[in-house]
Structure 1
Amino acid sequence: MLFEGSLDAVTFELWLEVHLLPALTRLSMLIMDNAPIHRKNRIRELAQVKGHIVLFLPTYSPDLNDIEHDFRALKRLRMYTPAGTTIDKVICNYCPR
């Protein structure tokens, strides 16, 4: 699903309802962080209709969120990258093909 601009709760919930949940072929547990766009009641409601369970991570739990490890590594790489290097270049160097 492509969209322009920032992701908001309504767009996230639309993606969840229209794209993710129908694609799950067996009952699943969705693990969510506490981003402001993750409205707990609505997400639980959407998931439960399809028989899925939602688990929200504790508030600020970077060790339980794998992407935080990548963000930490990218921030460190960017600190030691020559001035003027774009963030796209930093990411490409971090994720070689």
Structure 2
Amino acid sequence: MNNLSHLTPVYIDETGFETYFYREYGRSLKGQLIKGKVSGRRYQRISLVAGLINGELIAPMTYKDTMTSDFFEAWFQKFLLPTLETPSVIIMDNAKFHRMSKLKDLCEEQGHRVLPLPPYSPEYNPIEKIWAHIKKHFRKVLPNCDTFLEALSSCSCFS
């Protein structure tokens, strides 16, 4: 692979949310197990996909369900690529729905390159820290928000 240092790095990833969050911590007498009930009700799954350039989220989009190849490719082609103003190297994991050959073709047509991360290496993708921040924020604000999108827009990542 040619030297990619002249290209702007763009990290992309997706994450998912259940619209139900649980308490991570509780108190009990020493040696006693904490038990609590969780509703048997199914909660809505929402996926969030975005890119990250210089610490800024770009082209964020939510999707009501788990991520699919078709949705990811549509987001990639219609939302991510048009926001890239300079030749970029797009860095992403090897998730099953990332049809790498098609994504590489789309990128190369516009002067970009794709760099897949090694398997099981989220530590190489800084957007993972953004997802952790958003999920921590959600645990605090979601119970007081009327909608998922209201909670999402209250996060400093989207200000």
The alignment's TM-score, normalised by the length of structure 1, stands at 0.67
Q: How does 1:58-97 map to 2 (within 5 A)?
A: 58-68=118-128, 88-89=138-139
* Alpha-carbon displacement from aligned partner over 1:25-66 (angstroms, at most 9, x marks no partner): 111110011111111111101111111000000111132123
1: CA distance, partners of 2:92 / 2:118: 10
Q: How does 1:1-97 map to 2 (within 5 A)?
A: 1-68=61-128, 88-89=138-139
2: CA distance, partners of 1:25 / 1:71: 24
Instruction: Give unpaired runs (5+ residues) of structure 1.
Output: 78-86
Deviation at 1:20, TM superposition (A): 0.9
CA spacing shift, 1:8–1:26, aligned 2, 3 Å = same
Q: Which amino acid aligns with 1:42?
A: K
1: CA distance, partners of 2:131 / 2:85: 31
2: CA distance, partners of 1:39 / 1:50: 17
Q: Which is strand-richer, 1 or 2? A: 2
CA spacing shift, 1:39–1:2, aligned 2, 3 Å = same
1: CA distance, partners of 2:124 / 2:83: 25
Question: Rg: which structure is higher?
Answer: 2
Q: Which is helix-richer, 1 or 2? A: 1
> What is the identity percentage for the equivalent residue pairs of Structure 1 and Structure 2?
35
Q: Which amino acid aligns with 1:89?
A: R
Q: Is the 8 A contact 2:92 2:125 kept in 1?
A: no
2: CA distance, partners of 1:32 / 1:91: 29
Extract structure 1 runs of 4+ deviating beyond 6 A.
Answer: 70-73
